[in-house]
Amino acid sequence: MPDWKAEIRRQLAGLKLAPVREAEIAEELAQHAEDRYRELRSGGATDAEACRTAREELSGHERLARELRSVERPNAPEPFVLGAGSKGGVLASIWQDLRYGFRTLRKNPGFTAVAMLALALGIGANTAIFSVVNGVLLRPLAYPDPDRLLMIFESNSDFSQSSVSYLNYLDWRRENRSFTEMGAIRSDDFNFTGRGQPEHLSGEYVSASLLSTLGVAPFMGRNFLPQEDRQGAGCAVMLSYGFWKQRLGADPNILGKALTLNAMSCAVTGVLPADFRFRESAQVYVPIELYNSIELRTREAHMGLVAVGRLKPGVTMQAAQAEIASICAVLARQYPKTNAGHGAKAVRIMDDTVGFIKPTLMLLVGAVGFVLIIACANVANLLLARATARKREFAIRAALGAARGRIVRQLLTESVLLSVGGAAIGLLLARWGTSLALAAAPGSLPRASEIGIDPYVLLFTLAVSLATGVLFGLAPAFLGAKANPQESLKEGTRGAGGGRHRAEGVFVAAEVGLAVILLAGAGLMMQSVWRLLRVDPGFNPRNVLTAQVALSPQVMVNPPAIRPAYEQLLARVAAIPGVQSAAITSLVPLGESDTENPFWPGGGPQPAQDRMTSAMFSIVTPDYPSAMQIPLRRGRFFTPQDNLASPPVVVIDDVLARHVFAGQDPVGKQIGIMVLGAARIVGVVGHVKFWGLDADDQAKIRDQIYFPISQVPDKFATEGALGLTLVVRTVPDPLSVVSAVRAQVAGPTQDQPIYAVRTLEQIMSGSLAERRFTMLVLIVFAAAALLLAAIGIYGVMSYAVNRRAHELGVRVALGASRREIAGMVLREGMHLAGIGVAGGLAAALGLTRLLASLLYGVRPADPATLAAVALLLGAITLLACYIPARRATAVDPVVALRSE
């Protein structure tokens, strides 16, 4: 019997039918011919006769081809995407791809949901971090031409950036040729009275030139005039927009009205724009010459003042810095006692504002990139699995004439649709996540108020989602399009191209590796924070309330009344039930401010500035060590008998004792302190980690000197009485006594507010805010990575078990025990994870070094951390393989073999 199919195909050849249609017709007609042949044979015809007749009837003198030509159209274009090239042009075919992609995604809601969720996590995290980077690092500051604005600090052997003496600033401003304008600013607190409850305001003393230097015009009213920035001028004040709006009810007639600040009557000259921010966000601004302090006229006093300059066009930062340095050299010759060894350092205002956080943010950008790659690998795996399941579909399309490029494009369209959908959800996650993170870690980021979703962030998200869509879609698309139609159409359920399994294995191992890196980072950060929390700060932070206090304006204008006012205030607070002891200090450890004072051993005359070292200088009351629980090492602390009538005394810490009096007993020795003169050391206390739990060990100035508030000379009493802090040790929860403390501090005149109320524990944890924020973000990323990696392993293993059901069935039939089968699956999973863990650990060794500056007490390549991470991933892998392994043991050999 002839090969009818081949004969028919020959007859159809001229018709150029689509391959699938041709095959169908050939099959049907060949059957007919065969039936006819059998019939003829059984009717008695010879083989040759039967063949001839059947053949004649089949072709009917070319009739078949003729008739078919009028019925069948060659390679008929199909309704969608199947065609090699559609008539509608590129746009129409893209639209077609989108519609079709949308439909296929909707048909598989489970797959679509999982893939989109993974992408939403990845893209959302990236959007969140980018919105932070955008708001903090990229968005220009709200001044015209901010790149030309420089912050200028003094520098000396102790500090590369220290605050500036006002007199030096005036000389810089007068002598320089590099800046169009220069201004000065110094933060201070103001007591606001005369309008209801006394209130404490954050404020700035500013030079009249500051706003014009920054290029900021008031929202309302005018800037300070030069004659208002003079000693003896009447007090003028400018208000922040927020203060004017919230506290003064946006009074439209506020200009010219008077506010009482620090018992001065200050006329309002202007209101600043709503978006004005310079360093701290202050509520009121007062001309700096009104800072009624001896410090303003003392060249050695540095009092936290900073200078700002706007570069002239064409002048570089280096040239300006060099010029200021040369002015400094002249000043050092002119005033060797105060200026020897003092230089200047200029920093771009942007770097000054956000420079310190940049490495941390870059680190997080890297980490979040890993999360996205993991999410991509996961989705790529899902798509690979789906591409295998859809092999038949691609094969039919290819058979019907779809070009390979077109199939790739269709698949990419689907993956981009997925990623754009994921990005939409991710955007919501990002918005929600950033506000949550910022709320969880307040104060850890500068410019936090400028973080948000803006067009740049949206653009970034769109770009990332398109890029990721192409990235994770490429491999599955090419593997899918590679399908050989004939093979695929014939192929049963078992076995699929090896390329896919290799790719899958690579993706899973990469996911695990990246998860290892993130986990190692998070683990190291957690260890650092944990160790830092256990560092002994030198005092006992538990159950201590701190609050800044301001004395009544009536007291402030009368220096001799200031000391008794404090004593009475302390006595009232100490009498509150639950209060163990109460003290006052000018400095709180780990806080934002510091005061250094140069000193010299022995009671001799003051040596030149560069021959003295500086010590942290705190002015305190006698109960300070008991309130803080700072141990007394030798001698005694202050008593009420140390007063203006008795010789001046100081207490030093054991670091200064070792540093200056190595081997001798410092008690009874004399020490000279700048401005105050000689004093006798009466005691030695334990060192307090003033500069921070981690940074203190490396700090240049670690010596500490305590001076009794009762011996502060009257001429320093007024400014010394501003910004003092009350420290209260309590038996119950310290926050439970806040209202009692507030009431007792207010006093009989009811005009002494407390503000900045915090517990010492809050201050301590605040000092770790940046590190804690980094830790928190890394933990979240690592957890997401771990989850995605676990899903990845689970997906690959369960797919492998399904695919190998037949093989497993054979094994069971041949006597493999369930334990062996489960072991096999687990081994395979562990093998993949093992490769990932090994690669991840190797990479982690290199990458965790980037964390070094944020680590404390743990090396970047900490073996314990890395081992723990490897173990954790091993455990997670076991867990992820458990269900597929269970399923593998449940394979029924009979069912598995029958399904063939």
The site for another protein (CB under 8 A) is made up of 24-25, 28-29, 31-33, 35-36, 57-61, 63-64, 67-68, 70-72
The CA-atom distances, in angstroms, between 290 and each of 145, 204, 493 are: 30, 11, 87
Minimum CB separation from another protein for residue 385, in Å?
29
3-state helix, strand, coil in the chain (%, to 5): 55, 15, 30
SS3 state at 627: helix
What does the alpha-carbon distance between residue 283 and residue 240 come to, in Å, rounded to a whole number?
Answer: 5
Nearest CA-CA partner of 879 in 787, 799, 805, 801:
787
Minimum CB separation from another protein for residue 50, in Å?
14
User: Which CB sits closer to another protein, 66 or 230?
Assistant: 66
Minimum CB separation from another protein for residue 43, in Å?
13
Contact (CB, 8 A) for 343 and 156: yes
Residues contacting 496, CB < 8 A, separation 6+: 388, 391, 803
User: Which CB sits closer to another protein, 70 or 698?
Assistant: 70
What does the alpha-carbon distance between residue 598 and residue 300 come to, in Å, rounded to a whole number?
Answer: 10
What does the alpha-carbon distance between residue 280 and residue 295 come to, in Å, rounded to a whole number?
Answer: 22
Minimum CB separation from another protein for residue 100, in Å?
24
Minimum CB separation from another protein for residue 395, in Å?
17
Contact (CB, 8 A) for 460 and 134: yes
Phi/psi at 598 (5° precision): -70, 145
User: Which CB sits closer to another protein, 40 or 858?
Assistant: 40
SS3 state at 77: coil
169: Cα within 13 Å, side-chain hemisphere = 32
What does the alpha-carbon distance between residue 82 and residue 100 come to, in Å, rounded to a whole number?
Answer: 11
CA angle 660, 664, 670 (to 5 degrees): 60
User: Which CB sits closer to another protein, 66 or 502?
Assistant: 66
What does the alpha-carbon distance between residue 80 and residue 752 come to, in Å, rounded to a whole number?
Answer: 80
Contact (CB, 8 A) for 234 and 267: yes
Query: Positive or negative CA dihedral for 109, 112, 114, 116?
Result: negative
Minimum CB separation from another protein for residue 799, in Å?
29
Nearest CA-CA partner of 720 in 575, 620, 606, 644:
620
Minimum CB separation from another protein for residue 517, in Å?
55
Minimum CB separation from another protein for residue 94, in Å?
31
User: Which CB sits closer to another protein, 34 or 594?
Assistant: 34
What does the alpha-carbon distance between residue 462 and residue 458 come to, in Å, rounded to a whole number?
Answer: 6
User: Which CB sits closer to another protein, 29 or 667?
Assistant: 29
Structure tokens belonging to residue 73? 């159209």
Gyration radius (Cα) of the chain, Å = 40
Minimum CB separation from another protein for residue 894, in Å?
20
Minimum CB separation from another protein for residue 62, in Å?
8
User: Which CB sits closer to another protein, 73 or 886?
Assistant: 73
User: Which CB sits closer to another protein, 1 or 571?
Assistant: 1
Residues contacting 895, CB < 8 A, separation 6+: 809
SS3 state at 526: helix
Minimum CB separation from another protein for residue 13, in Å?
16
Minimum CB separation from another protein for residue 71, in Å?
5
Instruction: Look up residue 162 and give its DSSP letter.
Output: B
Exposed e or buried b for every residue in 839-866, given b needs 16+ CB within 10 A? bbbebbeebbeebeebbbebebebeebb
Minimum CB separation from another protein for residue 402, in Å?
22
Minimum CB separation from another protein for residue 7, in Å?
12
Contact (CB, 8 A) for 588 and 763: yes
SS3 state at 188: strand
Minimum CB separation from another protein for residue 798, in Å?
32
User: Which CB sits closer to another protein, 58 or 152?
Assistant: 58
User: Which CB sits closer to another protein, 11 or 595?
Assistant: 11
Minimum CB separation from another protein for residue 68, in Å?
5
What does the alpha-carbon distance between residue 371 and residue 125 come to, in Å, rounded to a whole number?
Answer: 8
User: Which CB sits closer to another protein, 68 or 526?
Assistant: 68
Residues contacting 391, CB < 8 A, separation 6+: 480, 483, 488, 491, 496
SS3 state at 875: helix
Nearest CA-CA partner of 584 in 721, 744, 736:
721
Phi/psi at 724 (5° precision): -85, 155
The CA-atom distances, in angstroms, between 631 and each of 595, 628, 669, 683, 770 are: 22, 9, 20, 11, 30
Contact (CB, 8 A) for 801 and 544: no
CA angle 91, 97, 98 (to 5 degrees): 90
Minimum CB separation from another protein for residue 35, in Å?
5
User: Which CB sits closer to another protein, 72 or 594?
Assistant: 72
User: Which CB sits closer to another protein, 58 or 579?
Assistant: 58
Nearest CA-CA partner of 370 in 836, 768, 895:
836
Minimum CB separation from another protein for residue 29, in Å?
6
Contact (CB, 8 A) for 833 and 874: yes
User: Which CB sits closer to another protein, 12 or 584?
Assistant: 12
- Max intra-chain CA distance, the chain: 145
